[in-house]
Structure 1
Amino acid sequence: MSFHWENTVFTIFGFVLLYFFLNKYAFGPLFSVMEKRRELVQSQLKAAEDNRTQAEQFLQEQKQAMQDVRKEAFQIVEQARVSSLHQSEELLKQAKDESVRIKQEALNDIQAEKNKAVAALKGQVGAMSVMIASKIIEKQVDEKSQQDLVEQYLKEVGDKG
């Protein structure tokens, strides 16, 4: 094998000419497409990172909102419990007061009726005593007749009452 310097020069010249045309027509557009693709990937990575950051922030906001809602719900339930307890105590107090008032009214009514009955009974006893005395005076009877007369009048009073 022999070395021909003309072939080497011709090969180098062809390679340089091929490199020049490839650089001008192929590598330039290819590198620009690759650069655009790199920029696109970079922008998508940045957008994904921004979205992830926003999603984390939104998640934190949602967690905080849920905690606030839970606290508020607990406060509402606690307030309702305290309010219902207070209302039940108030109702019990009112019921006790009402029962004491009704009991006192009933006792007063009973006492008034008792007083009326005693007064009526005194009036009847007085009238009966007068009637018995007048009958005794009219008849002037012996002791046995007197006893029978008293029993008869007491029986009459028992039938009327």
Structure 2
Amino acid sequence: MDFHPTSTIITIISFIALYLALNKWAFGPLFGVMEKRRQLILEQMNTAESSRKQAEESLQEQKAALDQARKEAYGILEQARSTSSKQAEEIVQTAKNEADRLKDAALKDIESEKNKAIAALRTEVGGISVKIASKIIEKQVDEKSQEQLVDQYLKEVGSK
């Protein structure tokens, strides 16, 4: 191959002209588009980073709200348990009071009936004693007859 200095100079001048033309009409707009694309990507990355931070903050807020809701639910359950225990104790106490009242009333009724029975028995014994005395006065019997008469009236009282 032969070396021709003119063709080398023409090639260098053509290359420089082509470079200048490409730099003016191709590289400039191409680099401008690439710079705009780089700015857009940076903005999107910044937006994504801020969105991620907001999402993390929102997640933390949601966790805090969930923890608060759990605490409130636990408090409500504890309050319900406490209330139900108190109501159960009140019901049991009311039932005990009612049972005591019914027992006292029954005891009073029993005592009253007992006193009525004793009074009735005394009245009846008094009447029988009067009858015995009147019969004894009427008959003026001896001691053995009197014992038989008393035994007879006691048997009558026992059968009634």
Counterpart-to-counterpart distance in 2, 1:114 and 1:82: 47
The within-5 A match list for 1:7-156 is 7-156=7-156
CA-to-partner distance for each residue in 1:17-68, whole Å, 9 max, x for gaps?
2112322333233223322321221122112101110111011101110121
Please report how far the alpha carbon of residue 106 of structure 1 lies from its aligned counterpart in structure 2 after TM superposition.
1.9
Length-normalised TM-score, structure 1: 0.86
How far apart, CA to CA, are the structure 1 residues paired with 2:142 and 2:2? 192
The count of residues paired between Structure 1 and Structure 2 equals: 160
Moved more, 21-30 or 119-128: 21-30
The CA distance in 2 between the partners of 1:96 and 1:155, in whole Å, is 46
Distance 1:44 1:59 in 2: 22
Deviation (angstroms), 1:112: 1.1
Residue identity in the other structure for 1:124 = E
Give the RMSD, CA atoms, in angstroms.
2.0
The separation in 2 between residues aligned to 1:86 and 1:13, in whole angstroms, is 104
Counterpart CA distance in 2 for 1:3 and 1:126 is 171
Query: Could you tell me how far apart the structure 2 residues matched to 1:127 and 1:20 are?
Result: 155
Letter in structure 1 aligned against 2:14: G
Sequence identity, in percent?
61
Q: In 2, distance between residues paired with 1:119 and 1:92?
A: 40
How much has 1:3 moved relative to structure 2? 4.5
Q: Distance in 1 between matches of 2:106 and 2:18?
A: 126
Q: C-alpha distance in 1, partners of 2:85/2:40?
A: 66
Partner SS for 1:61: helix
Please state how far the C-alpha of 1:109 moved relative to its aligned partner. 1.5
Structure 2: 5+ residue stretches without partners = none
Alignment partners' CA distance in 2, 1:79 and 1:101: 32
Q: Counterpart amino acid of 1:125?
A: V
> What CA distance in whole angstroms lies between the structure 2 residues aligned with 1:91 and 1:151?
58
